[in-house]
Chains A and B, each alone.
Chain A
């Protein structure tokens, strides 16, 4: 029988420390990015940075609550939590508030709540519960399909809002599934499709097709003694070519112009610094301005002039880049890498499969946010509106990530080997 005091000691303090550091860094940059002339000091709660301070304070309450619950609660009630979350997403279509074209919010008087930020934790719990079930076998197609449906329900609901950025994050679940024995071909096909997709857009369908054919021919020539069936090669090439030309077709005929633009900017095809490329261009300018040590807190010229749109939310990392320079940005990147690595490390130490799968899900979700968001700010990933965990402004996002992370901290404290 475990006593509460023993549990307390086993919290992973490194994860908690990095969490605190990121939240504080976040607040400092939100302060700088949202500073305006009519602000009344640090504790002006009418200002964006003042509100963030309230979300931070309420996060402490959430953390205590999450840690106070029994670890078993999360496993036992995973399905209830999942269903509640799905209902909250579905309820948006009746009670939701539309902001910037997406019906993603519940208006609760003074503030709004975005249920999709909480759905990630709920889905992670449900998936962990399902996969860790003794009867589930990920090698079995039926079970693969069931896991897919589990993911597809929130994905479809979010896609209908529409909020394609948040949908993208559900791709993260391929990592825990792969860890638990999903055939590597899924990961391979996923990554391969992504590579072919980018190559097709960057070099055009014809050249990519020619490249794939050449590589296959070379491979066949190299292995000609092994007497591999040539039809296998032809099938693979055929599927690749089909994919390439459908990407090409979809990109040119199905995508809207603003979708095409977002890809083309990252691929360096159209440099239009005033139109669609404005955000990326301005954020790159802001980051470049930083140099080694940055311009100093609240001293960034691009930040002060509000040149980067959404700088306190999705583009917050450009403020880090401009005001804290290369050194400051390096520290933030290393904090994220450290946090995710630590979570993976702790996940592997779990005694039960449920905690491990959940830990992997947390790591993968944080990773995808980290990769897509900073990649976007640095101009190496298309513009996708998702927040940078713990740093971007926003109550729902901060709470969502806090719950996601601290459920794992609790599971880890109870279930792990030392």
Chain B
């Protein structure tokens, strides 16, 4: 033992040190992160964000310089707080609070003190900046909007928050990221890559040259410009037509899936979300819970589609062999089932073309019932019907390149089993009969409606709608936007439906709103809708709906228009659709009287009704 005591201690110490070294150098060593190293100063060089152009290369958004006052808390030396606060135009209390938050975020990484100085403030501040150690001015580039429309398409950029920083280490406090629309969807394309310089410092924070002779330094890479499929002229015109109305317009080029116009109303001027008033303006928009300007109705709004859905009922009827084009059904003013009746506004015998043209409820209920009855159970019928509809891009996310959206609702048999408490209670195909005419449980978003209209225009297929036309530079747009999506309905079954939609204008529900010189196919829609006031279900004025494409042969535009509480289909939506089509195809408007009517028309009174607290009448 006497011979071994020292030896054992020596060996134990060796083991202890090796274990400690292993712990410090291998186990506990955070991944090689130069930004965490106090000996390295990291300086970023921000590139210009990519521009956005419309389909005709008209500039939509570019950049303007902006200056942020930044702080690195641990480098702050005692300073004349009073003087500095007066330069920054904030109170001492606010200043202390900002510093406290910055220190909590990180003592060694920069935080924003004052964002987005204007040029005058920048000039007066920059010459005194040297006095305040730890503070500096960071140049960034802000968006400069050239147009006052398309805010919902372009989206906006905002300062990253802590959640984003945690998730994506590329971003640092105070940097900007696209948080909506194209800005969000194509963030990595638009933003480019920031450059970085690592500078070796000594313990007095003096810079002593580039770290490892700059082998880790990178140059900034400019963001790529994006050409959108949006037609700025059409977009602007649509937005004007929708003034004082709620709803939206979606126009798609059928033979490419390119979105020509994507208008939601009410909207906002994108310039509101730039500069020092950004947060004030954003708060205002965010808390407007009545007109919801930040809510993109054409992507997010799930509405009953109403009569345009009858075109799909007809197509499915033909595909499933439930009806021939010439089968005549006689309408007695309503579809009778059991002791109930689904009313129709016309009477007399109709076939497919005239049924679509006159929008006969009886005809489509019959077709729908026949489709359902061609299957052994109503459950099978619903599921077959649903599968056909899903091939038109309904009932699920469409896959377009904007970051928001809804599935809509194409109910499954399970859905009905649940609400009818199957199998204790059975249900028949008549329980779902409202689906035939686009009421009932069916819900679609306006962009889904435009998309199925494009599929009808193409006689059987569509391209996934998209807003990206070209990324200027070597990037190409995703392959999925170039692939035809075929519907389950055979191309030959489309002709009678197209003819029916053509007759809607010739001698049907839209005969009063023809577009001179253009063969338009369309379908009106008038959808009942309800709200809750003080817990009671109250019916509101019908939604005015219209889908159309033109010209009839070789279509150039497919469009859906939705005007909330606009009453019957041709009253607002039909007119707007016609004007949009004419504007796009001819570049000018023939029926200026109608244009004036729409531009000046307002539904604000209608929208105010449900908030008035008084009883009101609808559909007047």
Contacts and interface: CB of A to CB of B under 8 A. Distances in A.
Nearest to B36: A285
B21 A326 contact: yes
A175 B208 contact: no
B5 A287 contact: no
Contacts of A178: 2, 5
B39 A304 contact: yes
Nearest to B2: A179
B20 A380 contact: yes
A196 B46 CA distance: 58
A255 interface: no
Nearest to B22: A326
A305 B201 contact: yes
Q: Which of B1, B16, B17, B26 has the most CB of A within 10 A?
A: B17
A236 B101 CA distance: 55
A288 B24 contact: yes
Contacts of A341: 7, 10-11
B21 A301 contact: no
A344 B211 CA distance: 46
Contacts of B24: 284, 287-288, 321, 378
Contact of B17 (A288, A364, A374): A374
Given A378-B20, A378-B24, 5 more contacts: A179-B6, A305-B202, A307-B202, A329-B25, A378-B21
Can you list the 4 inter-chain pairs with the closest CB atoms, starting with the nearest? Answer: A337-B14, A305-B39, A301-B39, A305-B202
B25 A305 contact: no
Interface of B: 1-3, 5-7, 9-11, 13-14, 16-18, 20-22, 24-26, 28-29, 32, 37-40, 200-203, 208, 211-212
Interface in A145-184: 175, 178-179, 181, 184
Contacts of B1: 184
B25 A304 contact: no
Contacts of B2: 178-179, 181
19 contacts: A179-B2, A285-B38, A288-B25, A290-B25, A292-B25, A301-B39, A301-B40, A305-B200, A305-B203, A307-B202, A321-B24, A326-B21, A333-B14, A333-B17, A337-B10, A341-B11, A344-B6, A364-B6, A380-B20
Contacts of A371: 13
A302 B28 CA distance: 18
Nearest to B5: A178
A306 interface: yes
A370 B37 CA distance: 29
A367 interface: yes
A73 to B, nearest CB: 27
B211 A301 contact: yes
A325 B203 contact: no
A187 interface: yes
B28 A299 contact: no
Given A291-B29, A321-B25, A304 B6 contact: no
B21 to A, nearest CB: 5
A287 B17 contact: no
B30 to A, nearest CB: 8
Interface residues of A, number: 44
Nearest to B25: A326
Nearest to A303: B39
A401 interface: no
A12 interface: no
B5 A187 contact: yes
A301 B18 contact: no
A178 B427 CA distance: 98
A291 B211 CA distance: 18
B40 A330 contact: no
A367 B17 contact: no
A306 B25 contact: no
A360 interface: yes
Q: Which of B13, B25, B201, B212 has the most CB of A within 10 A?
A: B25
A302 B25 contact: no
A348 interface: yes
A329 B21 contact: yes
Given A305-B200, A306-B203, A374-B17, A175 B25 contact: no
Interface in A73-111: none
B17 A302 contact: no
A321 B21 contact: yes
Interface in A248-306: 284-285, 287-292, 299, 301-302, 304-306
A284 B32 CA distance: 15
Given A179-B6, A305-B201, A333 B32 contact: no
A303 to B, nearest CB: 9
Nearest to B37: A301
Nearest to B198: A301
Contacts of A329: 21, 25
A132 to B, nearest CB: 16
A178 B40 CA distance: 51
Given A307-B203, A374-B17, A378-B21, A289 B6 contact: no
A33 interface: no
A360 B9 CA distance: 13
A196 B348 CA distance: 106
A325 B203 CA distance: 22
Contact of A326 (B10, B16, B26, B203): B26
A215 B200 CA distance: 54
A405 B201 CA distance: 40
Given A306-B202, A337-B11, A378-B17, A292 B39 contact: no
A178 B3 CA distance: 9
Interface string A357-389: 000100110010011001100101000000000
B212 to A, nearest CB: 7
A307 B203 CA distance: 5
Contact of B39 (A175, A302, A374): A302
A288 B29 contact: yes
A340 interface: yes
A175 B6 contact: yes
Given A337-B14, A371-B13, A378-B17, A307 B25 contact: no
A334 interface: yes
Nearest to A292: B26
A20 to B, nearest CB: 21
Contacts of A187: 5
Contacts of A378: 17, 20-21, 24
A242 to B, nearest CB: 27
A378 B13 CA distance: 12
A299 B9 CA distance: 34
A334 B208 contact: no
A369 B7 CA distance: 15
Contacts of A290: 25
Contacts of A301: 37, 39-40, 200, 211
A294 to B, nearest CB: 9
Contacts of A304: 39, 200, 202, 208
A369 B382 CA distance: 86
Given A367-B6, A367-B10, A378-B17, A287 B200 contact: no
Contacts of A364: 6
Nearest to A187: B5
Contacts of A285: 38
A341 B201 CA distance: 42
A364 B6 CA distance: 7
A285 B24 CA distance: 9
A29 B9 CA distance: 27
B29 A340 contact: no
Contacts of B37: 289, 301
A293 to B, nearest CB: 10
Nearest to B30: A288
B423 to A, nearest CB: 66
Q: Which of A179, A333, A370, A380 has the most CB of B within 10 A?
A: A333
Contacts of B16: 380
Contacts of B202: 304-307
